[in-house]
């Protein structure tokens, strides 16, 4: 087995995070590249003796060159749709050019890229699919041979397409849909996508080629909905196709009903009116896989969801960008005043005992107190274009840096002492929720809840002071409920506390 590592860019994404264990199992060395070292370090494969972690952004050419250095081949599994939202097309082109430059500079043997189906000659092809083709063209224009795999809908637990399908079918017994419900599609199971990606790494016949990849079934979206109902034990859904439902309206409807936000749903729905089926099946001769049909792919995905075995999720690809003020003192800052509200309580338990309910917070567990208010806040956020609570969490027990957690993202995790969450809901400012556990004596723990908020303008101040009474009530209730979940009496009722300033903090802090 060659000793030079294989670079996987987009290592914390949906496909990259699942590909790396396959490569390791096959005996390869892997260099995993991502924007956040904290997110990379929390992955289950991060401590494998054949894994190297490297921080890098495909938009940073110099960092990309360093990441590629001494590698044998590279997987380009980056898509900027989540991180860059409306500007994803320009970002994708820049990233592809940087890949071409880095590959040539460091003498890679080959690049493997996962793109999208859909013929570029089709006038109705969406901007999203055009962008995937443009990236493929840029990569193949370089001197390093690039293998392009073009896929349609990927069926797997945690994929954006599957989550859209699952939530729509489970929540809506009657669906008013655009005419694209009758469009032909050739879905592919995530296991088969990984099989093809792995299979393209060695054969000379796959080097520099473009292949269509899909499962054995060509179905319409309506037929896919019917199959989902049968596999999940739901009554058949009533489908009412109408000619006036635009992709924009469809995206907003998906935004309200599913965890997938409008910024992602929009480019996905724009492409649903174009048939995406394999026109070229040459890859089946080069890489003979036993392909998974739609029914079995959906069944496996549903089983994984039911068993909470979602290895990666579409929301994993979210950017983890801590606000500058979160770590005061690193740089001069004059952005305003941090507003803080903290409560704490002492429990007759060790930090390890308290950690268990804390690390399960959010998702199906809820927030231990005032769940109706949390739901209302989630609905308000969803109505104004935010992500709301429906995104939930990838796993009810396991949590790692970079995970989406309702309308938060995990910023810091240090079991059994710290869980810090960065707000991703729509806010007139930036917010962090800190949950800290500190051992006191032999068998006591001080549990703290601290909300930190940097307001933007008058709207931010009004928001903070308007919600402040709820902070007091909910924080006290959460502390008591967590103590009850631990099964340990509290030594004192929840009390306000004033956190100590961090060293060298240059930003004014206001405690209320």
Counting beta carbons within 10 angstroms of the beta carbon of residue 270, is it exposed (0 to 12), middle (13 to 18) or buried (19 or more)?
Answer: buried
Q: d(Cα 145, Cα 111) in Å, to the nearest integer?
A: 6
Place of tokens 């005043």: 337
- Regarding whether 411 and 295 lie in a shared domain, the answer is no
Say yes or no: 360 and 219 in one domain: no
Give the number of other Cβ atoms within 10 Å of residue 307's Cβ. 9
Residue 272 sits in a domain whose CATH number is 3.40.50.720
- Sequence-distant (6+) residues with CB within 8 A of 509 are 337, 338, 340, 501
Q: Which residues pair with 30 in a beta bridge?
A: 6, 51
Answer yes or no: do 254 and 182 share one domain.
yes
Same domain, 12 and 138: yes
The pLDDT value recorded for residue 330 is: 37
Coil/strand/helix, residue 452: strand
Given a contact cutoff of 8 angstroms between Cβ atoms, the answer to whether 398 and 272 are in contact is: no
Last residue of a domain, one of 285, 316, 347: 316
The answer to whether residues 452 and 482 belong to one domain is yes
Q: Point out the domain boundary residue: 290, 316, 342.
A: 316
Claim to verify: residue 388 and residue 301 sit in the same structural domain: no
Q: How far apart are CA 150 and CA 131, in angstroms?
A: 13
In a domain, 107, yes or no: yes
338 occurs within a structural domain: yes
Token couple for 250 = 């469809």
Are the C-beta atoms of residues 182 and 246 closer than 8 Å to each other? no
Same domain flag for 238 and 335? no
316, 335, 351 - which closes a domain: 316
Quick one: 177 and 121 in the same domain?
Answer: yes
Does residue 312 sit in the same domain as residue 369?
A: no
Q: From first to last of its 512 residues, what are the pLDDT tens digits of the chain?
A: 458 999 999 998 889 999 999 999 999 999 999 888 888 888 889 999 999 999 988 888 999 999 999 999 999 998 765 444 456 788 889 999 999 999 999 999 999 999 988 776 665 677 777 888 899 999 999 999 999 999 998 999 888 888 888 888 888 888 777 777 888 899 999 999 999 999 999 999 999 999 999 999 999 988 999 999 999 999 998 887 776 666 667 777 777 777 777 777 776 776 677 788 999 899 999 999 999 999 999 999 999 888 777 777 766 665 566 666 665 443 333 445 788 899 999 998 999 999 999 999 998 899 999 999 999 998 898 888 888 887 888 888 888 888 889 999 898 899 999 999 999 899 999 899 999 999 998 788 999 999 999 898 889 999 999 988 888 899 999 999 999 999 887 767 889 987 765 544 444 444 44
Phi, psi of 398 (to 5 degrees): -95, 140
Q: Is residue 220 part of a domain?
A: yes
Backbone phi, then psi, for 469, in 5-degree steps?
A: -60, -35
301 and 356 inside one domain: no
Q: Do 472 and 392 fall within a single domain?
A: yes
Q: Model pTM?
A: 0.79
Q: Which structural domain range is residue 87 located in?
A: 6-316
Evaluate whether residue 82 is within a structural domain.
yes
Same domain assignment for residues 194 and 343: no
CA distance 80 to 88: 5
Number of compact structural domains in the chain: 2
pLDDT of residue 267: 67
* Residue found by looking up tokens 């008058």 in the block: 458
Distance CA 359, CA 354 (A): 9
Query: Residue 194 falls within a domain, yes or no?
Result: yes
| Domain annotation covers residue 1 | no
Beta-carbon count within 10 A of 204 CB: 9
CB within 8 Å of 431: residues ≥ 6 apart: 422, 423, 451, 452, 453, 454
Q: Would residue 215 count as lying in a domain?
A: yes
What CATH number corresponds to the domain at position 406? 3.30.530.20
Beta partners for 226? none
């Amino acid at each position: 087995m060659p000793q030079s590592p294989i670079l996987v860019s987009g290592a914390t994404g949906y496909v990259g995070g699942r590909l790396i264990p396959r490569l390791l199992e096959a005996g390869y060395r892997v260099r995993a590249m991502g924007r956040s070292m904290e997110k990379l370090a929390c992955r289950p494969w991060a401590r494998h003796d054949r894994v190297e972690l490297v921080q890098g952004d495909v938009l940073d050419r110099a960092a990309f060159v360093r990441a590629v250095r001494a590698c044998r081949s590279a997987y380009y599994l980056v898509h900027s749709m989540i991180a860059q939202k409306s500007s994803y097309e320009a970002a994708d082109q820049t990233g592809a050019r940087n890949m071409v430059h880095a590959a040539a500079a460091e003498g890679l043997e080959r690049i493997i890229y996962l793109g999208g189906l859909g013929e570029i000659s089709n006038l109705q092809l969406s901007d999203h699919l055009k962008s995937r083709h443009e990236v493929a063209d840029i990569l193949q224009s370089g001197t390093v041979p690039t293998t392009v795999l073009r896929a349609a809908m990927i069926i797997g637990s945690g994929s954006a397409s599957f989550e859209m399908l699952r939530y729509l079918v489970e929540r809506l017994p009657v669906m008013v849909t655009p005419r694209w419900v009758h469009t032909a599609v050739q879905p592919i199971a995530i296991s088969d996508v990984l099989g093809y990606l792995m299979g393209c790494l060695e054969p000379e016949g796959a080097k520099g080629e473009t292949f269509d990849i899909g499962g054995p079934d060509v179905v319409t979206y309506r037929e896919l909905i019917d199959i989902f109902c049968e596999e999940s034990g739901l009554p058949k859904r009533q489908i009412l196709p109408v000619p006036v439902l635009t992709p924009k309206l469809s995206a907003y409807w998906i935004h309200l009903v599913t965890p997938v936000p409008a910024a992602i749903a929009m480019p996905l729905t724009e492409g649903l009116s174009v048939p995406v089926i394999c026109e070229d099946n040459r890859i089946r001769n080069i890489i003979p896989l036993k392909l998974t049909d739609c029914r079995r792919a959906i069944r496996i995905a549903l089983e994984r969801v039911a068993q909470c075995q979602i290895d990666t999720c579409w929301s994993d690809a979210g950017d983890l960008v801590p606000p500058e003020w979160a770590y005061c003192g690193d740089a001069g800052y004059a952005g305003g005043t941090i507003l803080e509200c903290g409560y704490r309580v002492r429990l007759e338990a060790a930090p390890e005992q308290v950690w268990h309910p804390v690390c399960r917070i959010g998702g199906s567990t809820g927030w231990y107190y005032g769940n109706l208010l949390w739901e209302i806040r989630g609905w308000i956020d969803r109505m104004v274009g935010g992500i709301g609570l429906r995104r939930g969490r990838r796993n009810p027990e396991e949590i790692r840096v970079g995970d989406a957690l309702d309308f938060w993202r995990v910023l810091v995790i240090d079991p059994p002492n710290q869980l810090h969450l960065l707000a991703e809901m729509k806010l007139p400012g930036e917010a962090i929720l800190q949950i800290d556990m500190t051992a006191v004596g032999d068998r006591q723990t001080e549990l703290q809840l601290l909300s930190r908020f940097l307001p933007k303008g008058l709207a931010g101040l009004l928001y903070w002071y308007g919600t402040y009474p709820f902070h007091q009530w909910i924080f006290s209730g959460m502390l008591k409920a967590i103590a009850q979940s631990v099964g340990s009496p509290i030594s004192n009722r929840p009390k306000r506390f004033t956190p100590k300033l961090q060293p060298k903090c240059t930003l004014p802090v206001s405690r209320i």
